[in-house]
Structure 1
Amino acid sequence: MSDGRLPVRRRWIGWTVGVLLSILLIAIGWVTIRGIGAVSDLQQVANGATQLKASIASGDLEEAERVSGSIARNAASADELTSDPVWQAFGAVPWLGPNFRAVSEIAEIAHDVSTNALTPLLDVAGGLDLAGLGVEGGTIDLAPFAEIEKPLGTASTALSAAELQAKRIDAGATLPPLADAIGELRSAVTGAASVVGSLHGASVLLPTMLGGEGPRNYVLAMQNNAELRSSGGIIGSIALLHAENGTITLQRQASTRDFPPLDTALPLSESTIALFDDRPGRYLQNITAIPDFAEAGEIIAARWTGRFGGTVDGVIAVDAVVAEHLMKATGDLAFGPFTATADTVTDILLSQIYAAVPDPATQDAIFAQAAGGLFSAALSGGDPRALIGALATSADESRIRIWSAHPEEEAVLAASELGGTIPTDSDDATYVGVLMNDTTGGKMDYYTRASITTSVGTCQGAPTTQVRVTWTNTAPADAATSLPAYVTADGFYGVPAGTVRTLIAVYGPEGATPAHVDRDGEEEGVQTAMLGDRSVVQHEVSLAPGESTTITVEFEGTGAGARFTEVRHTPLIEAPDTARKPLNCAT
């Protein structure tokens, strides 16, 4: 007869289950409380980052130091709250786990950046008179660069590591609000890594490149984005700079009219010839169509020495939007019949000048005045902090490209954004690219707009990277008659006035091959080439005013399907909308 008690084994199971449930409830409460604290800390880090940026921009380094201390404390607290064994155990739970791991990694990144990057950067800012980096009488004091090189290197290394760690977070497996936060984190860390990396590169290279160990000569090529080329735009004007012991002088200015086409093209790479025939080797205006600036810079230098002789130590290419960034530091600028502000200079240089000044030779003279005036304004002083910021922004947007004739310097440049080289894929980042080159023969790219999306995944069982480019002509419907003939090219190259004709080249990950190519859902003939180990697909697109087209290329095989895929593209007047979207296979 039973005494009403459960068997010992069943009592043991019930007791065990009860204990486990209690432990689970305690653990849930534990991570909930710690999670609320960590999220609060990370929100304070985000708010502090905004305050810190404003403090540094205003030159209030005491406030910046106070804010940075708060950031460091909150970041350390968030890291501690999300690194205990209970939190880490929840990171292994299906579905919920990726969210716990992501919060933990975000906290770790914030802690590492505040400790290993922010501290040395503020030490530099606090211990260095920024006026020493300014220009007085056309001379830059080279001594401070030795002081800032090491701490900038430390900060650059930390930010690069944080950037890679941020890219590794699987945002697609997290809840939407957290995925958005991860996207913001990646954008912020990538931007900081790019700017600090460029500043570190400058601190290493500038003392010698500015003539600290002997005089240097540089060709400055100014690109016009209203007629696109791979690295920004057609070369509109060109000049020679001389640097010696930090003193920079403008030695000579020239126009493209001083460089008639060559009967025999200069040597070009197979990929350049496959995409553009030998035109970049014959026409100065087309050299910047070359995708790799390491090749383009050397050819620009050869054209200068072939025309004027002398020695060229390097080439610097900038586009018209750089003027806008610089003028935020230097102030208004008068040239020809215009007085430009930072808000109006791009429109004047890339559009208004053609209506106000019909003669191309006069246009060239005005462009030269604008370039010379801006150069003089930058060298005459101004706020060094604002000038450095303007140059850093321009570099971050790939609007400044530099090639050096000195191999040891070129090696450093080629590894940075400033070098303008085709990037190298790695386990941490895979690259695709979109290059635009105008064949209208006018200045119609003032009216073009682009959007670029990337998607990765699997199509028909194969790893796939999809690149989709939408290209639009926003010119007015009556562009053929309302715009100057110089802008539309007036049909001179076989393109109806008002229509934009563009070569759009899409390159894929290293080792991948095109598996599907279409334009607006229809297949058409395309050019193909190789950029090193990258396959390139190039369409020639003609769009009347108001028209738009979408090109889709899917790459499969080795290198395709990588989650951390980034886009490199031609710098446009207005930056293209870029996005990552779920893969919808076109095949």
Structure 2
Amino acid sequence: MSDGRLPARRRWIGWTVGILLSLLLIAIGWVAVRGIGAVNDLQQVAKGATQLESSIAAGDLEGAQPIAKSIARNAASARDLTSDPVWQVFGAVPWLGPNFRAVSEVAEIADDVSQEALSPLLDVAADFDLANLGFSGGKIDLAPFAAIAEPLGAADAALSAAQRDARRIDADATLPPLADAVEELRSAVTEAATVVGSLHGAAVLLPTMLGGEGPRDYVLAMQNNAELRSSGGIVGSIALLHAENGQITLQSQASTLDFPPLETPLPLSESTVALFEDRPGRYLQNITSIPDFSEVGATIAARWEGRFGQKVDGVIAVDAVVARHLLKVTGDLTFGPFTATADNVTDILLSEIYAAVPDPAAQDQIFAGVASALFGAALSAGDPEALVGALADAAGEGRIRIWSAHEDEESVLAASALGGTIPEDTADGSSVGVLMNDTTGGKMDYYTRASIATAVGTCRGLPTTQVSVTWTNTAPADAATALPKYVTADGFYGVPPGSVRTLIAVYGPQGATPDHIDRDGEEDAVQTAVLDDRTVVQHEVTLAPGESTTITVEFQGTGAGERLTEVLHTPLIDAPETTRKPLTCAS
């Protein structure tokens, strides 16, 4: 006969379940309260960042200090609230876990940036006049840059680390509002890292590169994106800049006609010859086909010395789209029959000019005039801070590349986006790339568009990085007759007028090799090369007006698979859409 009590074992199980449920409820309440607090703290960080930006822009450094301290307090609080063991346990829960981890990672990034970047930046702001950045009457005062190099370096390192951390957050696995917040964080950190990185590079390099320790001469190569090359476009015109004690002057200009093809090509790397034969060593216009700008710069410098007998200290390459960034600062510009604005300048320079001014020699004169006028307007810009911002934006898009003949300077440049080199892969991330080189012989790339997708995972038991490139010719159906012959090339190089012929090269992570290659699902003839331990696969594609094609390459083995994948690509007139998609293994 029972006394109404549960057996001891069942009572023990009941107590255990009850305790666990109680602990779970307490834990849920704990993370809910801490989560609400953390979100509130992060919202205050975002609000404070906007206020801080406004204060610094207005020159109110005294008002910026308490804002920065408030940001630091809120960021530290958010990090503390999302780093305890209970929160970390919830971060391992399926489905919900990525949301907890994302909040924790956002808080950690905010705290690191506030502690390691904000303080050095405010020190710089206190010691250096951000309102004019050393500009005075077209001259740059070089003395203050040495003083700000170290604090800017600390801020640059912190923001670069924050940028890497932000990109590692798995936003796709989080709820939509949180995913949007992560994207906003990435955008803000990337913008800050680009600007601060540019300022740090300037602080390190400008005192010597702008003639603070003796006069310097640089070749300025202007690239035309309507005829694509790996680093932006064909070299359309070339000039010599002189720098002395921070004063920059345009010394002379030259046409590509001043550089006839060489009978004996300049020496080139094996990878360049494998992809483009010896053409970059013979033709000035093709030097920018070379994927690595350190080789481009040295080759252009050699051509200048061979033509004019003058050694130069470096090479600067800019593409036509830089003009769009500069006109946002300098205002409208009139040249030839045109008045250019930030909205229409690329249309004029890369399309309309060929119909309005059919003579190539007259076009060259206009291009030279544009370069001279833009150069003068930029140096006399009334808002130097906006000018630096515009140049930083252009550099972030890969539209400005610099090579120095001085090894110590080149080592700094090569490690930055300005150097135009292919970065080394790391344990956390890898780079893949897409290079476009026109072989139509005209200016048809005004009508081309691209999109690039990457996917990572495992295929056939091996780590895999997949790169897909879609290339489209948007020229009108009647392009053969409606467009100038100078634009279509009129079949001179064997391409039907209105069609576009392009060499599209895709390279993968270091150490990986292509396991599958197709074009629109079919096998196609390809060239291959090796570029810094990276396999390059190159297709030659011809597209009639309105046609499109997709090239897919799967890289497998060492270096491929589940890592952050950065896409590098030829700067196009319109930046290609780059996306990451789920991996679907090729059959």
TM-score > 0.5, shorter chain as reference:
yes
Change (3 A) 1:64 1:540: farther
Map of 1:33-44 to 2, 5 A cutoff? Answer: 33-44=33-44
What is residue 100 of structure 2 aligned with on the other side? 100
Distance 1:583 1:419, change over 3 A: same
Sort the Cα spacing of 1:132 and 1:193 in 2 relative to 1 into closer, same or farther, 3 A.
closer
Q: Tell me the residue number matched to 1:186.
A: 186
Does residue 534 in structure 1 map to residue 538 in structure 2?
Answer: no
Q: Distance in 2 between matches of 1:23 and 1:83?
A: 19
Distance 1:213 1:493, change over 3 A: same
Query: Are the aligned partners of 1:167 and 1:428 in contact in 2 as well (CA < 8 Å)?
Result: no
- Give the corresponding residue for 1:285: 285
Alignment partner, residue 476 of structure 2: 476
C-alpha contact 2:428 2:563 (8 A) present in aligned 1: no
Which one is further off, 174-183 or 366-375?
174-183
Mapping of residues 516-555 of structure 1, within 5 Å: 516-555=516-555
Deviation at 1:270, TM superposition (A): 0.5
Distance in 1, matches of 2:56 and 2:266, equals: 47
Following superposition of structure 1 onto structure 2, how do residues 445-460 of structure 1 map, counting pairs within 5 Å?
445-460=445-460
**Contact (CA 8 Å) 1:132, 1:141: kept in 2 or not?**
no
Per-residue deviation, 1:309: 1.2
Q: TM-score, normalised by structure 1?
A: 0.96
Q: Secondary structure at the match of 2:240?
A: strand
Q: Which moved more, 1:82-91 or 1:100-109?
A: 82-91
Task: Report matched runs for 1:17-96 at 5 Å.
Answer: 17-50=17-50, 52-53=52-53, 56=56, 67-96=67-96
Residue 194 of structure 1 contacts residue 417 of structure 1 at CA under 8 Å; is this kept in 2? Answer: no
Give, as a single letter, the amino acid of the residue that structure 1 aligns with 2:511: G
Where in structure 2 are the equivalents of 1:90-489 lying within 5 Å?
90-489=90-489
Aligned residue for 1:403, secondary structure, equals strand
Q: Distance in 2 between matches of 1:446 and 1:259?
A: 25
| 3-state DSSP of counterpart to 1:133 | coil
List gaps (5 residues or longer) in structure 2: none
What is the TM-score with the length of structure 2 in the denominator? 0.96
Report the more deviating stretch, 84-93 or 215-224: 84-93
Aligned in 2, Cα 1:391/1:60: closer, same or farther, shift over 3 Å?
farther
For the Cα contact (< 8 Å) 1:506–1:538, is it kept in 2?
A: yes
Offset at residue 125 of structure 1 (A): 2.6
CA–CA distance in 1 between the matches of 2:61 and 2:484? 51
The CA deviation at 1:331 is 1.6
Instruction: Give the whole-Å Cα distance in 2 for the aligned partners of 1:282 and 1:583.
Output: 42
Q: Distance in 1 between matches of 2:349 and 2:143?
A: 36
Measure the CA separation in 2 of the matches of 1:579 and 1:183.
13
> Higher mean Cα deviation, 192-201 or 23-32?
192-201
Q: Distance in 1 between matches of 2:61 and 2:387?
A: 18
Q: Deviations over 1:1-26 (max 9, x none)?
A: 43222334433332232222112111
Query: In the alignment, is the contact (CA less than 8 A) between 1:436 and 1:502 conserved in 2?
Result: yes
Which residue of the partner structure matches residue 515 of structure 2?
515
SS in 2 for 1:430: strand
CA distance, structure 2, for counterparts of residue 478 and residue 59 of structure 1: 55
Q: Could you list the per-position Cα deviations for residues 189-217 of structure 1 after superposition, in whole angstroms to 9, with x for gaps in the alignment?
A: 23322332222111101100001111111
State the number of aligned residues: 587
Q: Which runs of 5+ in 1 are unaligned?
A: none
Aligned residues of 2:402 and 2:419 also touching (Cα < 8 A): yes
Matched position secondary structure for 2:42: helix
Give the CA deviation at 1:220: 0.4
Residues 471, 114 of structure 1: CA spacing in aligned structure 2 closer, same or farther, 3 A cutoff? Answer: same
Say yes or no: does 1:560 pair with 2:560. Answer: yes
Cα deviation digits, residues 421-447 of structure 1 (max 9, x gap): 012100121000000001111111111
SS of the residue 1:130 aligns to: coil
Q: CA offset at residue 86 of structure 1?
A: 1.9
CA contact (8 A) 2:470 2:551 kept: yes
After TM superposition, the structure 1 stretch with the greater mean CA deviation from structure 2, 217-226 or 41-50, is 41-50
Q: Report % sequence identity.
A: 79
